[in-house]
Amino acid sequence: MTLTAACQDDEPQANPVDLVEQFVAANDWAFDRRSDEELAAEVPGKWCNYSLYFAWREDMGAIHFTCAFDMKVPEAKRTPICDLLAIVNEKLWLGHFGLWEDEAVPMFRHTSLLRGGTALSQEQVEDLVDIAVSECERFYPAFQFVIWGGKSARDAVAASMLETAGEA
């Protein structure tokens, strides 16, 4: 018997997607509760609308989250985009960017483990969505520079991360 089994109570983990639904509804975002374990929503951003997706796996005690761009990566640009993903992911503290291969859509991804009675809090949902959308907004231009501007991954990141100082 493991320590976890010895200390575990018989109460099932609360479904964190219920909390996510409350958060999304409170922000007046369009959403679709696909099942008890899944929710999809759309969030407006500066560059595009982002598609959020939450999936709860009770057997793993984990909630998976993605924030997908409203853009497709052409087949000819997949290798430079994969180079971009490697560079961008080095700059992240939480989560990572990936490419949804079936749809050719870039996305931010993160999975939170909630095993052991740890419940997802409203603040965690807010922070996760805020971090994901902020990182997507920050790197959206880099994806555009590679896909449409023909820039290398390194040049695209350098151009997109220029910080302006002062006011014009």
118 or 164: whose pLDDT is higher? 118
Per-residue pLDDT tens over the stretch 46-75: 999 999 999 999 989 899 999 999 999 999
Q: How far apart are CA 33 and CA 15, in angstroms?
A: 13
pLDDT of residue 166: 54
Write the DSSP symbol of residue 13. P
Please state, in angstroms and as integers, the Cα–Cα distance from residue 14 to each residue in 41, 116, 139, 161, following that order: 21, 12, 34, 40
Residue 22, phi-psi category: left (phi > 0), alpha (psi -120 to 50), beta (remainder): alpha
Q: Which of 61, 22, 57 is nearest to 41 (CA)?
A: 22
Tokens of 134: 């902020």
Query: Can you tell me the distance from the alpha carbon of 68 to that of 108, in angstroms, rounded to the nearest whole number?
Result: 6
Domains and their CATH numbers in the chain: 11-160 (3.30.1460.10)
Please report the pLDDT score of residue 168 as a whole number.
54
pLDDT of residue 161: 76
Q: Band the pLDDT of 163: cuts 50, 70, 90.
A: low
Output Rg (C-alpha) for the chain, integer angstroms: 18
For the cut 50, the answer to whether the pLDDT of residue 3 exceeds it is no
pLDDT at 5: 45
Over 70: is that where the pLDDT of 167 sits?
no
pLDDT in tens, 9-42: 445 557 899 999 999 999 999 999 999 999 999 9
Amino acid present at 103: E
Task: Decide: helix, strand or coil at residue 161.
Answer: coil
- Whole-model pTM: value is 0.85
pLDDT in tens, 91-147: 999 999 999 988 999 999 999 998 776 788 899 999 999 999 999 999 999 999 999
How far, in Å, are 15, 63, 95, 164 from residue 111 at the CA level? Answer: 15, 6, 8, 33
pLDDT at 1 over 50: no
Summarize the confidence of residues 81-100 as an average pLDDT.
95
